[in-house]
Amino acid sequence: MSAAASRWQPAPGEVRPEIKRTAAAFLENAGNWSDGETAVGTLIRAGASPPVASTASILQLPDARAGELTVVYPQYGGLASDTAAVIALVEQNLHTVSGPWNRELVVDVRLARPPGGSWAVERLVAPTSLGPSLPLTDTAAAVLAEPKIILPGPARSDVSTGRMDNRLLAILHALSREFTLAIQVMHTGHIQTVYPTARMSNHAVGRAVDIREIDGRPVVDVRPGDDRVLRLMRRAAELGATEVGGPADLNGPRKGFFSDDVHQDHIHLGITPGDAPAHLR
């Protein structure tokens, strides 16, 4: 399952696109199977080891007889010299015994590259949950109802639990008055730690969101002269975001705003209790 086998095509601004295409090829292979097959079996026949292939069971329901999968966007979750994490938003069409079922998933794909070798998927990480649902706040209900906040299924479920931080949701709702936001991930499907450390991520506790598109334009593909990314980053800080990551670092050596190879393809907004907004740090 080489990167070249993937149907997903990178934009010119993608960082090390072969990593993302390797992740996408694995998901496409696992997620497309016919009657009598399974996601795991399809991967094994394609050459994946049984331990690696077994992690793809998260793509299959017990009563699914066939499936088709499309990678919407593979966002970086972490990147090191010889390991990487890709947070892939996918659409699945499953053919079950009770009829067709469509769903969106966010899948945490871990990859590694041996010395002198090529990138390969090591495993898919099963998604976690924020916990039992709580009553929705007015802000959460407003975010769910706002057409300018495009929520994939897992992020919509996160908000619907009532456990996403209300301050973060208020920032999103305020930003939607100025921009149309396509969300990639909130909690479900995101890495629970700040890759590659053991430090807990704000995503793990419902205090962060990643935005992949602004007004229909992918963050990774913003054209010269288009200031929407910078305007959104500044505005999010003014609204109270304590961490704002993206294609540019607006604070220089100071904390608050940050940029690296991982954040060339999305804008990360987070809330850390006790910290000042990003532009004041």
Please name each of the domains of the chain with its CATH number: 3-125 (3.10.450), 138-280 (3.30.1380)
**Half-sphere exposure (CA, 13 Å, Cβ side) for 268?**
33
pTM assigned to the model: 0.96
CA dihedral 31→36→40→43, nearest 10 degrees, is -70
Per-residue pLDDT of the chain (281 residues; tens, 9 = 90+): 688 889 999 999 999 999 999 999 999 999 999 987 999 999 999 999 999 999 999 999 888 899 999 999 999 999 999 999 999 999 999 999 899 999 999 999 999 999 999 999 999 999 999 999 999 999 999 999 999 999 999 999 999 999 999 999 999 999 999 999 999 999 999 999 989 888 999 999 999 999 999 999 999 998 888 999 999 999 999 999 999 999 999 998 899 999 999 999 999 999 999 999 999 98
Q: Can you state the angle between helices 166-175 and 138-145, rounded to 10 degrees? A: 40
Give yes or no for a contact between 67 and 35, defined as CB atoms under 8 angstroms apart.
no
| pLDDT at site 80 | 96
Give yes or no for a contact between 77 and 190, defined as CB atoms under 8 angstroms apart.
yes
| pLDDT at site 186 | 99
Give yes or no for a contact between 173 and 139, defined as CB atoms under 8 angstroms apart.
yes
